[in-house]
Amino acid sequence: MMKKGIITFLSLVLLVVLAACGAETKEDTATKSLYDEIKEKGEVTIGTEGTYAPFTFHDETDKLTGFDIEIAEEVFKRLDIKPVFIETKWDGMIAGLDAKRYDLVANQVAIRPERLEKYDMSEPYIVSKAVLVVHEDNNDIESLEDLDGKKVGQSLVSNYREIAEANGATNTVVEGFNQAIDLLVSGRIDGTINDSLSYLDLKKQRPDLPIKAVFEEDETTNNAFLFRKGSGELVEAVNGALAEMKEDGTYLEISEKWFGTDVSK
């Protein structure tokens, strides 16, 4: 009986030790930050469109490239982490971040107060302005106010849609800038608002398009990487890499490659 009691006692001790180890493991997992998890895996997942030149698109060899892509690649190269890009449509991109399909978004996401309430964002890595684009034969629209009663083509969750609708326009939902331009050229919409740099690149790539920019806003928009709330350490690491890139001239090299100027100002 004594021998049996000793065995039972030792079994209980073993169970307590195992339970303690299990609790410690669970506690370690619970306190591990997203950045720690990413460093352990050695890769970070990034949501992007892949159809929005010159920021994120496929070149003639079908390679994913663009300004946002190169900036993200350089950031995570410095952090010794492999970036894995997951392409998705803009209208579902932020929902994909919420659903944890990827760790962050790199896709010209504007820094806005309502976004900062729900998400973390990096320091801005590009500054841009919105332009209003119409058909070259259109002489009725010269300002945002002229959009009252007109039809535009904007992505559903775009801040450009909000600008257009605030000025009385009716929106036709599009998947991106290229689709909006197609609708504009065919006369199915009256105008579209988008990034000035994207417009200039489009005109450079397709100079025969019968379109023109009739208005450019005075205020600039700061764009940044978008993260889920609570990604503090990851955001800090990204901000540190961005600061290093600007300090050592790497950012300027990438900027001049794509735009011929410093787009951080």
Residues 102-146 have pLDDT tens digits of 999 999 999 999 999 999 999 999 998 999 999 999 999 999 999
Residue 108 belongs to some domain of the structure: yes
**Residue 162: pLDDT over 50:** yes
Same domain, 69 and 82: yes
Q: Predicted confidence band at 260 (pLDDT cuts at 50, 70, 90)?
A: confident
Residues 145, 54: Cα–Cα separation, whole Å: 29
Residue 24 belongs to some domain of the structure: no
Q: What's the pLDDT score for residue 21?
A: 52
Residue 63 belongs to some domain of the structure: yes
Same domain, 234 and 122: yes
Q: Give the residue, 28 or 98, on which the prediction is more confident.
A: 98
Same domain, 226 and 122: yes
**Residue 100: pLDDT over 70:** yes
Residue 178 belongs to some domain of the structure: yes
> CA quadruple 205, 207, 210, 214: dihedral positive or negative?
positive
**Residue 24: pLDDT over 60:** no
Residue 3 belongs to some domain of the structure: no
Pick the range with the lowest mean pLDDT from 28-37, 166-175, 188-197: 28-37
Q: What's the pLDDT score for residue 30?
A: 56
Same domain, 137 and 167: yes
**Residue 13: pLDDT over 70:** no
Number of domains within the chain: 2
Same domain, 134 and 173: yes
- Claim: this prediction has a pTM higher than 0.85: no
Residues 248, 175: Cα–Cα separation, whole Å: 37
Q: Which CA distances in Å does 102 have to 20, 34, 85, 140? A: 33, 11, 9, 43
Amino acid at 33: S
CATH code of the domain in which 168 resides: 3.40.190.10
Same domain, 122 and 42: yes
Q: Is 157 exposed, middle or buried (0-12, 13-18, 19+ CB in 10 A)?
A: middle
Same domain, 232 and 109: yes
For 71, the domain range is 35-127+222-259
Same domain, 181 and 244: no
**Once rounded to an integer, what is the mean pLDDT over residues 6-14?**
49
Q: Predicted confidence band at 32 (pLDDT cuts at 50, 70, 90)?
A: confident
Residue 169 belongs to some domain of the structure: yes
Same domain, 63 and 119: yes
Alpha helices in the chain (DSSP H): 2-31, 34-41, 67-78, 93-98, 113-118, 159-166, 177-185, 196-205, 232-248, 250-259
Residue 61 belongs to some domain of the structure: yes
173-223 per-position pLDDT tens digit: 998 899 999 999 999 999 999 999 989 889 988 999 999 999 998 889 999
**Residue 25: pLDDT over 60:** no
Same domain, 140 and 75: no
Q: Predicted confidence band at 27 (pLDDT cuts at 50, 70, 90)?
A: very low
**Once rounded to an integer, what is the mean pLDDT over residues 4-26?**
49
Same domain, 117 and 135: no
Residue 83 belongs to some domain of the structure: yes
**Residue 16: pLDDT over 80:** no
Same domain, 83 and 197: no
Q: Is 4 exposed, middle or buried (0-12, 13-18, 19+ CB in 10 A)?
A: exposed
38-91 per-position pLDDT tens digit: 999 999 999 999 999 999 999 999 999 999 999 999 999 999 999 999 999 998
